[in-house]
Chains A and B, each alone.
Chain A
Amino acid sequence: MMTEADYYALFEAYAHGELAGPARANLEARLAADPALALRYADFTEMTGTLRAYGQRQQARQQLRGIHAAMLAADAPEEITPTETKLTHSVNPMLRISRTERRLREFWSGHRATVGVAASVAILAVFATLLGLDLWRSYKTEPSLYGYQALRREMAKLQRSQRALKESILTQGPLPTPAVNNGKFSGTGFALTSEGYLVTSYHVIQGADSLLIEGRDRQRYHAEPVYSDIKHDLAILRITDKKFAGFGRLPYAIKSGQADLGERVFTLGYPREDVVYGEGALSARSGFEGDTAFYQVSIPVNPGNSGGPLLDERGNLIGVVSGRQNDAQSAAFATKSSYLVRLVDSLAAAKPAAAYPYHLPHYGQLAGSGRPQQLKKLQDYVFVVKVFE
């Protein structure tokens, strides 16, 4: 009886072709006839085949490792290869890298893209939020500059055209007179000197092509800006009409010092066609957002009041109405008259012997009289400033 080992000897001899003719034929016949033997043979071949293939694989692996090492060795002297140093992203030839640093480098090289994307998303989000908030806020408060409203009046176009239409209907037959161009904006102005200088707010005449001054008696003069102080919202105009003969003696004096808190003050202005009186008190000695060039007064003012004179009880000019705060109750602002005086002084100093000297009124005539008398004298020196663009 043959043991399995004996069979293996036989199989091996057979596989190597070492069996003699008859023995070979005999074995082949038995393999064909005996399934158990055939299975045993199949197992044998599979096992030896696997063993040999395994050997080959190990050899090949060894070979590849050799090739890789040879490749690295060949590359190494030429340049500092990444394969050599295991640094994948450093160009500097570093002598030694700590484990932590290596980890960090590996992390960085692995997650560079993700980190980049995350960072850009974060930055985008931050800026989008900031910009969005800013836009939203400015959209909400668009009509004014953060709650501040300059008070020049925009003429109602509709009203004007309607009136022109009505006039043309009424007059019917004759050629309709061309509608009076009332100007785009209007504000208030008042006389500065008797020679024909006037004061108004800079924002009233801002962007003006031509200016028209209109008094209470419907007397109209052309005027031109002489000087503007944008920072303090002041503008000085001069009447250019030849027939203009001067204002005469001004009833108010211009105060060069500061007014006191709590003083009763009043103003005249043209927020509409007619002159309007407003009264209140000086509520603060600084203006919008702490601007010390302005007073805060508690006079109800409206668009059109800009450039109006602010006077104290004795009829001294203490300021020029400039604007109001939208989100506060009855908070109007007026440029301090001291800035006006300073402006005039500097102008006079620049042009000492000018054809139009500045003679500021130093003595008022309003002190002591009652308010209606004061206003009667005053209103001849307060004008509508119409602005054409």
Chain B
Amino acid sequence: MSRGNSSSLTPTDDALIAAIRSGDERALAHLYRLHWPMVSHFVLQNSGLEDDAQDVYQEGVMVFYEKVRDGSLELSCQIKTYLYAVCRRLWLKRLTSKSRFGVRLLDDEEHGPYLNTGAEDDLLAAEEQDRRFATMSEALNHLGEPCRSLLEGFYLLDKSMQDLTAEFGYTNADNAKNQKYKCLVRLKKLFFAHYKEEPI
């Protein structure tokens, strides 16, 4: 299952991955549009709604997208199959959490062997990442203003220190920076306090 085993990848798959990695938004949009009907059909067929389908699909594409951006994607099959496997897995999880009974999924035949696509491992990693992000979000919420806005502005929204200085009314950029570091220290306490104590 190495990246070298790209014989099963169609040339367009390769091109798409390359384009997405280089940050081409149109490539991502194309990919999204290409496989949406498949996943939407799958979810609708398995007692899901349109909104569920959208959630699941965006989650799945997100997993794929982040792996591509990292360069850590190890694709042993077509993107289509990979996405199907990921979304199938995600939907199965949601269904089992909702239902008291065992869940059986109706599968489209054409997507056959979706178990060895590496999707399982990727999903585990993605879940871990989700948990981390959830903790971070919580920590940010507990941080309070103006620290939260300052950090969000700098890290999440990629604003420059000059802009933030002006926005928050600091006398100069160094003041703002110092404030940011103090905020970071507080965030660190909150973040690690929550993150570490949760069982892995």
- State the A residues within 8 Å of B (CB): 4-6, 8-9, 12, 43-44, 47-48, 50-58, 60-61, 63-65, 67-68, 70-71, 82-83, 86, 88, 106, 109-111, 113
Contact = CB atoms under 8 A, between A and B. Distances in A.
Contacts of A8: 181, 184-185
A43 B32 CA distance: 35
A55 B158 CA distance: 8
Contact of A51 (B58, B151, B182, B185): B151
Contacts of B147: none
B61 interface: yes
Contact of B155 (A43, A48, A83): A48
Contact of B33 (A60, A65, A71): A71
A65 B29 CA distance: 10
A235 to B, nearest CB: 67
B117 interface: no
B187 A60 contact: no
A115 to B, nearest CB: 12
A50 B32 contact: no
A381 to B, nearest CB: 82
B50 A57 contact: no
B200 interface: no
Contacts, number: 95
Given A9-B177, A61-B62, A67 B29 contact: yes
A71 B33 CA distance: 7
Contacts of B32: 64, 67-68, 71
B50 A6 contact: no
A166 B33 CA distance: 97
Given A50-B132, A67-B28, A67-B29, A5 B44 contact: no
A63 B50 contact: no
Interface string B19-60: 000000100110011001000100010010110001000100
B188 interface: yes
Contacts of A48: 155, 184
Contacts of A68: 32, 36, 54, 58
Given A64-B62, A65-B58, A68-B54, A53 B181 contact: no
Contacts of A54: 133, 136-137, 155-156
A12 B161 CA distance: 13
28 contacts: A4-B181, A4-B185, A5-B178, A5-B184, A6-B181, A9-B178, A9-B181, A43-B188, A44-B184, A44-B188, A48-B155, A50-B133, A50-B191, A51-B136, A52-B156, A53-B129, A55-B156, A56-B66, A58-B156, A60-B65, A60-B66, A64-B65, A65-B58, A68-B54, A86-B49, A86-B50, A88-B50, A106-B49
Contacts of B124: none
B168 interface: no
Most chain B Cβ neighbours within 10 Å, of A5, A12, A44, A109: A5
Contacts of A44: 184, 188
Given A8-B184, A47-B187, A54-B136, A82 B50 contact: yes
Interface residues of B, number: 40
A12 B133 CA distance: 21
Contacts of A9: 177-178, 181
Nearest to A64: B58
A360 to B, nearest CB: 80
A64 to B, nearest CB: 5
Interface string B152-190: 100111100000000000000000011001101101100
B136 A50 contact: yes
Given A64-B32, A111-B47, A55 B155 contact: yes
Contacts of A53: 129, 133
A46 B188 CA distance: 10
A56 B49 CA distance: 28
A83 B40 contact: yes
Nearest to B179: A5
Would you list the 4 A-B pairs with minimal beta carbon distance, nearest first? A55-B156, A110-B47, A5-B181, A51-B155
B147 to A, nearest CB: 12
B28 to A, nearest CB: 7
A67 B33 contact: yes
A43 B189 CA distance: 10
Contacts of B137: 54
B25 A63 contact: yes
Contacts of A60: 62, 65-66
Contacts of B177: 9
Given A64-B28, A106-B49, 12 more contacts: A5-B178, A5-B184, A43-B192, A44-B188, A47-B187, A48-B155, A53-B133, A68-B32, A71-B32, A86-B50, A110-B47, A111-B47
